[in-house]
């Protein structure tokens, strides 16, 4: 009897310990429809204020792609009460950090600053939602900057050109096919009125989450949020996002480019990967970490350490909600080494699909993924982003324990099945780029 | 019936007491609002600082191994680099080494960086790997598994491996500045030439390891939800006894020679060039360090500094801000201010910096500038509390400055709040103002990183020393 009680008490004590690691997340909604998520963190003296827009480039009209990307810059370009860059200057002056990015599925802007200055960030973020400066002069200036920067990049960087091509092929027929910046020629002639119209997506409080993590006094914070956000006009909440995971492509594409003056030959693999909303995403993520994470990289080991090919390996992962693409680029000034590397990669993919990963590797990858997850939950801005994404995808705010459990439960069989499905030849787009 | 006569009641009472004690323990265990510092020195001579932070869900450890006297010439620089490549480069891990295997089982989340005075190994791992961590330390301190094949390959691919996964341009700029400032030798065109690297043999690596990677020549700082005495016990159990000390090259007292030099580091890049401006400041544990940092901010700071205010539109400085990093060494601090500019703006920018520094002599740091800088640094330190490694640096600085042990480490905000305007004026006057100017030459090392031809074409009045690296 006493043993049972002891066990129960120990269990209770461990629960307290666990819950202390993950302070409770709470939510409330303003009358105008703005959903607020509060995620307190103990032991810090800073706070992150994050505005998470549940709309991104996917919602752009097909003939006006690239507008959302412009907003990545327009959001810092002033408003009714602030001059361009004032937002950045305000936060920087107090030792804080400002950042933001627009993606296909969402757009995220955040301020990281000392906890006692949290109202400044609330004010700055509310100003952006109320009255962004969208006159012809600043829209034209941002359009020109995007066109010249991306144009220059595409022209001078064959690797970026190749990756863009492969990514478009992998995502053919999906919302992710067109690059975020759209078609530069169309962007040049895009009417400024259409850019202004799109502001409703950013302004619509029905699609916005205000997420705050760090140290704060809840009653003071609520008062601040009411003060700065309550007079923003209500937005109409759009229907719940209809995410649906897309199946891997089944058409093996191999293409060769010949580029004069190229110093290094390279190959870009595009592998269609599962959606973040899919159940099997975590298994592919495991595989991706095992193969390409520079801290463990299996490819680095087999190509450079074992076979001494001296190739450079880079990888990029899209991290989208409905479908994904893993790009692996291998480059070498020696064509022979590159061809050998391709052969070895093929064999490695086949081996992963037919043999389970060894126990040591399983443990190492699992530890690394768990560490990265915990590090992400410790960093205030990353925590906001994860909370926003999980709410956006699953309407779930208590994902912490569930995610950890899923990570810890991955077994070699899951990884092998994932490799069988996603590393198969018909799921790959390969672009060989050779110098003349 | 009394309780003493009823064993069931007694058991229930004991159970409740035990339960209460357990809950209390759990509650105490998770209190964790404050980080506590415990300092030890093991019987093998390793200095250990344990930062107990009950909110951190993983363990962060940093091991500093000191290189005193080992980066004073080209061969010893190359020896250090080759040893680190052999130990920590995944691309050389065949045949697999025990050390790399242990690091990977630990989670593989490690980084190794070298500055002129020490090697810093940072590692994150899950709390259940604490036992394995002390064995990993043992492996690091006893590493002798140099393999001829690996060694030859590391020499052959030296620059390829050196450049992989690091900001090598900045590292070389720092190295250049340090060696120029400490004046141990003059730069020639032979900075880590192939002949220097090829001339190293494995015996030199072994001797370097025996001389340098010793518990009594290192500092371990470890932070997490830890029992400090358990950590100490584990390390004590697993650490090897230090071998007999070999004769160390006598460490000359560092003579800082901060005279002005401008270097160009020629690299093949399509990016705009980087300008690094290095200045010497007092060591981080010295009283004059924070006043100097505040003075430096009033010159270079974004957005409060004089350079930003005077020429923000000219250099499009909203887009390209000056970043400042304090590289904290034992004898002095190297302030590294860096900015990416267009080729055509380099000379104007350098002249502007010089002009604004001169102005300190006639127009010292004003009260508003001082308050702006103070506000920035206090805020910056508060924001940094969100990073797990934020309170490690003050502990390391305290160790270098031999500051007496404190149980609760003082972190940035508290330290900055103690700096007065008068101290800032004094520090700036000594470093940049009239005092130093009366003594002679201008100060500061400038390293321009980019296409040398374009940089040289854009410079009209500045004299530079061209430095060419054999980055094969």
Q: Inform me whether the C-beta atom of residue A4 falls under 8 Å from chain B C-beta atoms.
A: no
The residue extents of the domains of chain A are 24-229, 253-435
Between residues 225 and 284 of chain A, which touch chain B (CB distance below 8 Å)? Answer: none
Comparing A212 with B166, which gets the higher pLDDT?
A212
Q: Which two tokens stand for residue A18?
A: 């666990």
Q: Using the predicted structure, report yes or no on whether residue A123 has a pLDDT greater than 70.
A: yes
Of B15, B30, B321, which is closest to A20 when you measure between CB atoms?
Answer: B30
Q: Inform me whether the C-beta atom of residue B97 falls under 8 Å from chain A C-beta atoms.
A: no
- Residue B63 in contact with residue B118, Cβ under 8 Å? no
Here the ipTM equals 0.87
Cα separation, A259 vs A431, whole angstroms: 13
Q: What is the 3-state secondary structure (H, E, C) of A176-221?
A: CCCCCCCCHHHHHHCCHHHHHHCHHHHHCHHHEEEEEEECCCHHHH
CATH topology of domain B36-238: Cytochrome Bc1 Complex; Chain A, domain 1 (3.30.830)
- Residue A247 in contact with residue A403, Cβ under 8 Å? no
Name, in order, each residue with C-beta under 8 angstroms of A353's C-beta and a sequence gap of 6 or more.
A416, A419, A420, A423, A424
- Residue A290 in contact with residue A334, Cβ under 8 Å? no
CB pairs under 8 A between A and B: 171
Q: Using the predicted structure, report yes or no on whether residue A313 has a pLDDT greater than 80.
A: yes
Reported as a single tens digit per residue, the pLDDT across A344-389 is 999 999 999 999 999 989 999 999 999 999 999 999 999 999 999 9
User: Structurally, what CATH architecture does the domain formed by A253-435 represent?
Assistant: 2-Layer Sandwich (3.30)
Q: Inform me whether the C-beta atom of residue A3 falls under 8 Å from chain B C-beta atoms.
A: no
Q: Which two tokens stand for residue B411?
A: 């972190």
Q: In what order do the strands lie in the sheet with A312-317?
A: A253-259, A428-435, A265-273, A324-332, A312-317
Cα separation, B435 vs A316, whole angstroms: 53
Residue A6: burial class (beta carbons within 10 Å; 0-12, 13-18, 19+): middle
At residue A143, the pLDDT reads: 93
Residue of B nearest to A297 (CA): B90
Q: Find where tokens 């409080």 sit.
A: A205
Q: Using the predicted structure, report yes or no on whether residue A74 has a pLDDT greater than 60.
A: yes
Q: A114 vs B383: CB contact, 8 Å cut-off?
A: yes
- Count of positions (residues) in chain B: 472
Between residues 283 and 312 of chain A, which touch chain B (CB distance below 8 Å)? Answer: 293-297, 300-301, 304-306, 308, 310, 312
Q: Find where tokens 């007496």 sit.
A: B404
Q: B104 vs A364: CB contact, 8 Å cut-off?
A: yes
Cα separation, B172 vs B185, whole angstroms: 16
- Residue A117 in contact with residue A94, Cβ under 8 Å? yes
**Which of A352, A351, A327, A328 lies closest to A338, judged by CA?**
A328
Cα separation, A291 vs B90, whole angstroms: 13
- For the range A59-63, what are the long-range contacts, defined as Cβ-Cβ under 8 Å and sequence gap of 24 or more? A59/A201, A60/A182, A60/A198, A61/A194, A63/A186
At residue A7, the pLDDT reads: 46
Of A10, A43, A95, which is closest to B383 when you measure between CB atoms?
Answer: A95
Question: Taking every pair of C-alpha atoms in chain B, what is the biggest distance, in angstroms?
Answer: 103
Ramachandran angles phi, psi of B110, nearest 5°: -130, 160
Q: Inform me whether the C-beta atom of residue A85 falls under 8 Å from chain B C-beta atoms.
A: yes
Cα separation, B343 vs B451, whole angstroms: 9
Q: Inform me whether the C-beta atom of residue B40 falls under 8 Å from chain A C-beta atoms.
A: no
At residue B167, the pLDDT reads: 83
CA-derived radius of gyration, chain A? 24
Of B108, B160, B383, which is closest to A296 when you measure between CB atoms?
Answer: B108
Q: Do A24-229 and A253-435 have matching folds?
A: yes
Between residues 180 and 219 of chain A, which touch chain B (CB distance below 8 Å)? Answer: 214
Q: B376 vs A21: CB contact, 8 Å cut-off?
A: no
The distance of A315 to chain B (nearest Cα, Å) reads: 13
The distance of B221 to chain A (nearest Cα, Å) reads: 18
Q: B383 vs A295: CB contact, 8 Å cut-off?
A: no
Q: What is the dihedral sign for C-alpha B345, B347, B352, B353?
A: positive
Between residues 1 and 20 of chain B, which touch chain A (CB distance below 8 Å)? Answer: 11, 14-15, 18-19
Between residues 146 and 175 of chain B, which touch chain A (CB distance below 8 Å)? Answer: 153, 157, 160, 164-165
Cα separation, B370 vs A331, whole angstroms: 51
Q: What is the 3-state secondary structure (H, E, C) of chain A?
A: CHHHHHHHHHHHHHHHHHHHHCCCCEEEECCCCCEEEEEECCCCCEEEEEEEECCCHHHCCHHHCCHHHHHHHHCCCCECCCCCCHHHHHHHHCCCEEEEEECCCCEEEEEEEEHHHHHHHHHHHHHHHHCECCCHHHHHHHHHHHHHHHHHHHHHCHHHHHHHHHHHHHCCCCCCCCCCCCCHHHHHHCCHHHHHHCHHHHHCHHHEEEEEEECCCHHHHHHHHHHHHCCCCCCCCCCCCCCCCCCCCCCCEEEEEEECCCCCEEEEEEEEECCCCCCCHHHHHHHHHHHHCCCCCHHHHHHHHHCCCCCEEEEEECCCCCCEEEEEEEEECCHHHHHHHHHHHHHHHHHHHHCCCCHHHHHHHHHHHHHHHHHHHHCHHHHHHHHHHHHHHHCCCCCHHHHHHHHHCCCHHHHHHHHHHHCCHHHEEEEEEEEC
Chain A residues touching B378 at Cβ < 8 A:
95, 114
Cα separation, A178 vs A165, whole angstroms: 10
Q: Residue A181: how many CB atoms within 10 A of its CB? A: 22
- For the range A85-90, what are the long-range contacts, defined as Cβ-Cβ under 8 Å and sequence gap of 24 or more? A85/B318, A87/A124, A87/A127, A87/A128, A88/B318, A89/B303, A90/A120, A90/A124
Q: Inform me whether the C-beta atom of residue A18 falls under 8 Å from chain B C-beta atoms.
A: no
Strands B465-467 and B274-281: unpaired
At residue B301, the pLDDT reads: 87
State the distance between the two ends of chain A, measured CA to CA, in whole angstroms: 81
Q: Find where tokens 């004094």 sit.
A: B426
Q: Inform me whether the C-beta atom of residue A13 falls under 8 Å from chain B C-beta atoms.
A: yes
Name, in order, each residue with C-beta under 8 angstroms of B358's C-beta and a sequence gap of 6 or more.
B437
Domain covering B261-467 in this structure, CATH number: 3.30.830.10
Between residues 316 and 345 of chain B, which touch chain A (CB distance below 8 Å)? Answer: 318, 321
**In chain B, where does the domain assigned CATH 3.30.830.10 lie?**
36-238, 261-467
Read off the pLDDT of each residue in A233-255 and give the average, rounded to a whole number. Answer: 73
A42-62 in b/e burial notation, b at 16+ Cβ within 10 A? ebbbbbbbbbbbbbbbbbbee
Q: A305 vs B379: CB contact, 8 Å cut-off?
A: no
At residue A9, the pLDDT reads: 47
Q: Inform me whether the C-beta atom of residue B304 falls under 8 Å from chain A C-beta atoms.
A: yes
Q: Inform me whether the C-beta atom of residue B301 falls under 8 Å from chain A C-beta atoms.
A: no
Neighbouring C-alpha atoms within 13 Å toward the C-beta of A174: 25
Cα separation, B332 vs B258, whole angstroms: 12
Residue of B nearest to A46 (CA): B383
Chain A residues touching B160 at Cβ < 8 A:
310
Pick the CATH number of A24-229 from 3.30.830.10, 2.40.40.20, 3.30.930.10, 1.10.10.10: 3.30.830.10
Q: A9 vs B18: CB contact, 8 Å cut-off?
A: yes
Residue of A nearest to B34 (CA): A43
At residue A119, the pLDDT reads: 96
Reported as a single tens digit per residue, the pLDDT across A129-147 is 988 899 999 999 999 999 9
Ramachandran angles phi, psi of A210, nearest 5°: -105, 115
Reported as a single tens digit per residue, the pLDDT across A6-60 is 444 444 444 444 444 556 899 999 999 899 999 998 889 999 999 999 989 988 8
* Per-residue confidence in pLDDT tens, chain B, 472 aa: 344 445 554 455 554 444 444 334 433 333 345 788 999 999 999 999 999 998 899 999 999 999 865 455 667 778 888 999 999 988 888 888 999 999 999 999 999 988 878 899 999 999 999 999 999 999 999 998 888 888 998 888 888 888 777 788 888 888 888 877 776 544 444 456 677 888 889 999 998 898 889 999 999 999 999 999 999 999 999 998 877 766 555 556 666 776 777 888 888 777 889 999 998 888 888 888 888 888 899 888 887 788 888 766 566 555 567 889 999 888 889 999 999 888 888 888 888 888 888 888 888 888 999 889 988 988 998 999 888 888 888 888 888 877 655 555 555 666 677 788 888 888 887 776 655 555 556 778 889 999 888 888 888 777 665 555 545 4
Percent of chain A with pLDDT over 90: 67
Q: A310 vs B56: CB contact, 8 Å cut-off?
A: no
Cα separation, A74 vs A102, whole angstroms: 11
At residue A85, the pLDDT reads: 84
Chain B residues touching A9 at Cβ < 8 A:
15, 18-19, 22-23
């Amino acid at each position: 009897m006493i043993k049972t009680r002891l066990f129960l008490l120990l269990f209770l004590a461990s629960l307290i310990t666990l819950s202390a690691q993950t302070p409770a997340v709470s939510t409330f909604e303003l009358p105008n429809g703005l959903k607020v998520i509060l995620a307190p963190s103990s032991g810090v003296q800073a706070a992150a204020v994050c505005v998470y827009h549940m709309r991104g480039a996917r919602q752009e009209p097909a003939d006006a792609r690239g507008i959302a990307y412009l907003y990545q810059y327009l959001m810092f370009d002033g408003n009714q009460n602030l001059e361009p860059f004032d937002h950045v200057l305000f936060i920087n002056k107090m030792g804080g950090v400002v950042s933001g990015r627009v993606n296909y599925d969402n757009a995220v802007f955040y301020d990281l600053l000392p906890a006692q200055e949290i109202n400044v960030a609330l004010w700055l973020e509310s100003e952006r939602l109320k009255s962004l400066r969208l006159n012809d002069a600043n829209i034209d200036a941002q359009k020109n900057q995007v066109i010249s920067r991306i144009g220059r990049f595409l022209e001078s960087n064959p690797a970026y050109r190749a990756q863009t091509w492969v990514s478009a092929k992998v995502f053919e027929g999906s919302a992710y096919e067109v690059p975020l910046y759209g078609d530069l020629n169309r962007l040049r002639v895009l009417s400024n009125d259409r850019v202004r119209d799109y502001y409703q997506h950013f302004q619509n409080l029905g699609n916005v989450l205000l997420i705050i993590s760090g140290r704060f006094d809840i009653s003071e914070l609520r008062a601040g949020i009411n003060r700065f956000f309550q007079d923003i006009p209500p937005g109409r909440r759009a229907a719940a996002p209809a995410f649906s995971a897309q199946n891997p492509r089944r058409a093996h594409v191999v293409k060769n480019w010949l580029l004069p003056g190229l110093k290094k030959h390279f190959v870009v693999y595009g592998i269609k990967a599962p959606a973040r909303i899919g159940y099997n995403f975590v298994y592919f993520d495991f595989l991706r970490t095992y193969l390409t994470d520079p801290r463990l990289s299996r490819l680095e080991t087999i190509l450079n350490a074992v076979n001494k090919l001296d190739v450079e390996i880079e990888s990029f992962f899209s991290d989208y909600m409905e479908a994904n693409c893993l790009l692996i680029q291998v480059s070498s000034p020696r064509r022979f080494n590159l061809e050998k590397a391709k052969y070895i990669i093929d064999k490695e993919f086949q081996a992963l699909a037919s043999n389970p990963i060894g126990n040591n590797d399983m443990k190492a990858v699992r530890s690394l993924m768990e560490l990265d997850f915990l590090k992400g939950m410790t960093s205030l801005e990353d925590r906001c982003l994860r909370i926003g994404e999980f709410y956006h995808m699953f309407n779930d705010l208590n994902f912490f324990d569930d995610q950890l459990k899923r990570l810890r439960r991955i077994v070699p069989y899951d990884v092998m099945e994932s490799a069988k499905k996603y590393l198969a030849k018909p799921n790959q787009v390969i672009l060989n780029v050779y110098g003349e | 019936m009394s309780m003493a006569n009823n064993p069931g009641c007694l058991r229930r009472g004991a159970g409740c007491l035990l339960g209460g004690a357990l809950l209390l323990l759990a509650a105490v265990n998770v209190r964790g609002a404050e980080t506590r510092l415990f300092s030890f020195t093991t019987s093998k001579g390793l200095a250990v600082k344990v930062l107990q932070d009950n909110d951190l869900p993983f363990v962060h450890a940093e091991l500093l191994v000191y290189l005193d006297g080992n980066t004073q010439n080209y061969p010893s620089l190359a020896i250090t680099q080759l040893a680190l490549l052999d130990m920590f480069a995944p691309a050389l891990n065949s045949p697999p080494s025990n050390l790399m295997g242990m690091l990977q089982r630990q989670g593989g989340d490690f980084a190794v960086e070298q500055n002129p005075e020490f090697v810093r190994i940072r590692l994150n791992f899950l709390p259940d790997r604490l036992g394995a961590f002390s064995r990993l330390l043992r492996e690091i301190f006893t590493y002798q598994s140099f393999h001829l094949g690996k060694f030859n390959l590391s020499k052959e691919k030296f620059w390829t491996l050196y450049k992989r996964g690091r900001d090598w341009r900045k590292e070389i700029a720092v190295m250049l500045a340090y060696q120029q400032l400490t004046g141990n030798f003059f730069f020639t065109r032979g900075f880590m030439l192939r002949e220097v690297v090829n001339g190293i043999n494995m015996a030199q690596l072994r001797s370097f390891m025996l001389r340098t990677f010793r518990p009594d020549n290192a500092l371990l700082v470890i932070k997490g939800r830890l029992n400090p005495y358990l950590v100490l016990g584990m390390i004590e159990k697993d650490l090897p006894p230090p071998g007999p000390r070999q004769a160390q090259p006598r460490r000359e007292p560092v003579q800082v020679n901060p005279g002005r030099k401008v270097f160009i580091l020629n690299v093949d890049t399509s990016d705009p060039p980087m300008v690094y401006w290095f200045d010497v400041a007092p060591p981080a544990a010295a009283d004059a360090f924070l006043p100097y940092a505040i003075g430096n901010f009033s010159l270079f700071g974004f957005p409060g500094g004089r350079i930003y205010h005077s020429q923000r539109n000219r250099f499009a400085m909203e887009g390209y801000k000056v970043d400042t990093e304090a590289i904290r060494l034992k004898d002095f601090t190297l302030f590294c201010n860096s900015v990416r500019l267009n080729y055509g703006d380099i000379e104007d920018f350098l002249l502007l910096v010089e002009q604004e520094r001169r102005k300190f002599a006639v127009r010292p740091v004003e009260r508003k500038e001082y308050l702006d800088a103070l506000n920035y640094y206090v805020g910056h330190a508060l924001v940094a509390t969100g990073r797990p490694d934020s309170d490690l640096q003050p502990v390391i600085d305290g160790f270098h400055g031999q500051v007496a042990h404190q149980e609760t480490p003082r972190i940035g905000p508290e330290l900055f709040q103690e700096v007065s305007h008068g101290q800032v004026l004094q520090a700036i006057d000594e470093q940049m103002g009239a005092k130093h100017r009366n003594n002679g030459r201008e100060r500061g090392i400038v390293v321009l990183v980019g296409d040398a031809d374009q940089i040289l074409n854009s410079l009209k009045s500045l004299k530079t020393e061209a430095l060419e690296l054999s980055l094969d």
